[in-house]
Amino acid sequence: MRRFLSKFKFLFITLLVLSAIILTLFYNALKPKEVLPIYQPAMVNTELVHDSVQHVKKYHTIADFKLLNQNGQTITQKDYEDKIYVADFFFTTCLSICPIMTGNMTTIQKEIMNDKDILLLSHSVTPKIDSVARLKEYALEKGVIDSKWNLVTGDKKQIYELARKSYLVAKDDGIGDEYDLIHTENFVLVDKKKRIRGFYDGTKTEDIQKLLADIRILKSEYE
């Protein structure tokens, strides 16, 4: 018996390995593919959503825009067409959460540097202060790479409406001018169809890692 087992030892090992491979393939084939949710205004904290869109339960997308970046170039939705991107809101004189957010966006920039399908977009909520020249200075200070990351400024009403009606990440100031807002620490993941696929705390390392993992999941939808 021992001689018999010894004679067919290699065959048994080969069959065992093949069985393990086949079982793994079956498991992967049957395992549901992970898919990110598609966020609608009705799913988000009402404080962060303009009351004109709070009722929306489907078909929400990011509105078209026309803003200026750190190089004085006009940036529109066309520049993000067929791209996955991460968006946020900030201002260059912010001394609280913005430096942390910008540092974490720089981390994301490093991770996506060689991926042509992914871009970054940061909107200033103080466009009167954050001129093109100021954004350029800030971009140089923070290591912004122009081909991957646009810092944008422009019409205050448009930025307000993008924050409250499109990206769903800012609170209404309520005490200042009509279009004053309080930006939050949120990073927003947007897919190639201009839909919101995730919200992340831009000040937390664990959320940044979750965002990077979710980008990989989102990319798999297009493969």
The encoded tokens of residue 78 equal: 């066309």
**Alpha-carbon gap, residue 129 to 134, rounded angstroms:** 8
94 is in an annotated binding site: yes
**Alpha-carbon gap, residue 78 to 202, rounded angstroms:** 25
HEC string of 151-166 equals EEECCHHHHHHHHHHH
50 is in an annotated binding site: no
DSSP bridge partners of 150: 121
**Alpha-carbon gap, residue 68 to 85, rounded angstroms:** 17
User: Is 60 in contact with 195 (CB distance < 8 Å)?
Assistant: yes
Classified as helix, coil or strand, 190 is strand
If we measure between CA atoms, which residue out of 130, 121, 138 comes closest to residue 187? 121
55 is in an annotated binding site: no
**Alpha-carbon gap, residue 173 to 158, rounded angstroms:** 16
- C-alpha 70: how far from its chain's center? 20
Instruction: State residue 104 phi and psi, 5-degree precision.
Output: -70, -35
User: Is 218 in contact with 189 (CB distance < 8 Å)?
Assistant: yes
Q: Which residues line the annotated binding site for Cu cation?
A: 94, 98, 183
Q: Which residues line the annotated binding site?
A: 94, 98, 183
